[in-house]
Homo-oligomer: A and B are copies of this chain.
Amino acid sequence: MDKLDKMGKRGESQEAEHAENKTRKQTNRGGVRAGAGRKKGSGKFGEPTKVMRVPESKVAQIQSWLERQKKGEQKLAGLLEHSAFKVHQPANDERVTLPLYSHKVVAGFPSPADDYIETTLDLNEKLVRNKEATFLLVVEGDSMQKAGIQDGDILVVDRSIEPSDGKIVIAALDGELTVKRLSVKSTGTWLVPENDNYPPILVREEAEMVIWGVVTATISQF
C-alpha cells in the first residue's frame, strides 16, 4: 500500500511539474555526474552478493550465522592486527615461581626435602613464549587423544609460530574449528587426528582453511 501510494505521488508530481514547466524537463538537480550514486560495497555485507537456493529449514540458521560472521570478522580483524608477530617481553612484576623437583633426584627418597629442589619455574614463562601472540582454547572431543590432548584440556596456542608439516594446529576448516596435526604431503594438505576412530581430512582446494595458530602445549586438569 505504502509503496503504491509513493508511486502514485511521484507520478502525480511529475505530471504537475510537466504541466507547469511547459514541456521542459525539470532535471536541474542531481543528474549524470561522475561519482554520483551509491558506492559499491555499501550494502550490509560489504561485498558483492549472490542468490543461492537453500532448504527452507536452514534459512534462519544461515541468516543468523551471516549476522554473527559479520560482527565476528571485525573482531577477528582486530585480533590479527593486534598480534601480528610482535615480540613482547612479559612483565615480571607478578612472577610466580614454583619448585621443580627432579624425578631422578628424589627417587629413593620418600620425603620431599628442600634439598631436592632442582630449580624453580614460572608456568607462564614456561608455557608462553610470545605473550602477545598466545591464546588459550578449551578442547572438546577426543580426536587427538593419542597426542595427549583430552576432552576439556586447555590448549596453549601460539599464533607467531609458522604452521608446518607435523605441527599440531588450530584450523578453521570451512568455518569450523578443529585441532589436528598438519600434514603437508605430495598428496595434498591433510588434517590428521591422533585417534584411530577418526579419519584424516583432506583439505580440498576449494575449501577455506584458516590456521589460527600452532599448539605448543596442552594442560589437563584433574
Q: Which residues of A contact B (CB under 8 A)?
A: 45-66, 68-69, 71-73, 75-77, 80-88, 90, 94-104, 106-117, 121-124, 126-128, 131, 134-141, 143, 147-150, 153-154, 156, 159, 167-168, 172, 174-179, 193, 197-198, 206-208, 210, 212, 215-222
Contacts and interface: CB of A to CB of B under 8 A. Distances in A.
Chain A facing B: main interface SS: mixed
A97 to B, nearest CB: 7
- Chain copies in the assembly? 2
A139 B85 contact: yes
Given A55-B47, A113-B69, A84 B140 contact: yes
Contacts of A99: 135-136
A81 to B, nearest CB: 5
B175 A100 contact: no
B72 A111 contact: yes
Nearest to A91: B97
Contacts of A138: 85-88, 100, 102-103
A216 B222 contact: yes
A183 to B, nearest CB: 15
Given A55-B45, A62-B62, A100-B136, A116 B72 contact: yes
Contacts of A207: 60, 64
A71 to B, nearest CB: 7
A174 B219 CA distance: 30
Contacts of A47: 55-57
8 contacts: A47-B57, A49-B56, A52-B52, A55-B66, A72-B113, A85-B140, A98-B131, A112-B175
Most B CB within 10 A of own CB, among A59, A116, A128: A116
